[in-house]
Amino acid sequence: MRAPAAPVRIAGVDLAAAPERTGWAVLELTALPSPDGRGASGRLAAAGRGLDDGALLDLLASTALTGVDVPVGWPAPFRALLDGARDPDGGALGAGGPAWRREMTLRETDHAVTARTGLRPLSVAADRIAHPALRWAAVAAEGRRRRLALPLEGPVADPVPEGGAARACEVYPAGTLHVWGLPHRGYKASAREPGSGVRAAIFAGVEARHPGVDLSAGHAAALASDDVLDAVVAALSAAWAAGGAARGPAPGRQRELAAAEGWIWLPETDGAGRSR
């Protein structure tokens, strides 16, 4: 993929149901990550916490690609279940049991992430992550009304699509950190464990894997808030996708399901050229 002729703005959003808990970050890159994890250059222009729907739409419209940490769709079998919920014969319910419940609640991309990393993304059909997902659904609907191309399921051919329409891709910061060999648990703030020490280690590791990208503008905010740290990782994940260095759905069944369910874009390598 060609290098950008001018700095490309790529954003990351850790989307929460509440705007005040939504983390965001904006990169300005003069070179995108290559498939071997090298070559990225530029800077983190800004990062923070607090983003309402209007500001989110403005961010999507002003960036070439935005990585959003939120499920952008629901499992196809789950949607079919809801569509057939009024079936008097109960045909939509299937056989029941644990395997059936997994089929109803997990997307194809969730299974792919688990197979690759051992991590299991939260179920958009059965966990509280559904609340941010519903917020995204409303934002995406308004974005499409504004002719923004959201979300992205297929391969990223160029960071700036024809006509300047913005694009978004689903990312999973914990999965990205796992692929990069960095801590991916224990960094969330809680009443018992603030997690700031783990966040500091994660941020240092992310910087080490992107020596050409000045991330200092987000250092204090990322150590203070896991929402901001996730947003920085989300932005870098989107940059890897923009550089052709993230793994998308395979042609065929995965691509077909991704068009309806969404797809989580994880880096292809650990940042040192090793496939993961």
Q: What is the mean pLDDT of residues 79-99?
A: 67
- 271 compared with 122, residue with greater pLDDT: 122
Q: What is the mean pLDDT of residues 46-59?
A: 97
Counting residues of the chain whose pLDDT is more than 70, the rounded percentage is 83
Residue 272 is assigned to a structural domain of this protein = no
36 and 269 Cβ atoms separated by less than 8 Å: yes
* Whole-number pLDDT of residue 152: 67
* Whole-number pLDDT of residue 87: 59
Residue 85 is assigned to a structural domain of this protein = yes
* Whole-number pLDDT of residue 4: 58
Residue 244 is assigned to a structural domain of this protein = yes
What are φ and ψ of residue 65, in 5° steps? -155, 140
Residue 99 is assigned to a structural domain of this protein = yes
Return d(Cα 122, Cα 130) in angstroms, integer: 9
* Whole-number pLDDT of residue 158: 41
Residue 273 is assigned to a structural domain of this protein = no
3-state secondary structure of 127: coil
Residue 1 is assigned to a structural domain of this protein = no
Spatial strand order of the sheet with 23-31 comes to 168-170, 65-68, 8-14, 23-31, 41-49, 213-214
What total of structural domains would you count in the chain? 1
Residue 72 is assigned to a structural domain of this protein = yes
Return d(Cα 238, Cα 194) in angstroms, integer: 27
For residue range 12-37, list pLDDT tens digits in order: 999 999 999 999 999 999 999 877 65
Q: Which residue has the tokens 């590791």?
A: 205
pLDDT of 38 above 90: no
Tokens of 234: 């989300």
For residue range 233-270, list pLDDT tens digits in order: 999 999 999 888 999 899 999 989 988 899 999 998 76
User: Which structural domain range is residue 21 located in?
Assistant: 8-267
For residue range 196-240, list pLDDT tens digits in order: 899 999 999 999 999 999 999 999 999 999 999 999 999 999 999
Residue 46 is assigned to a structural domain of this protein = yes
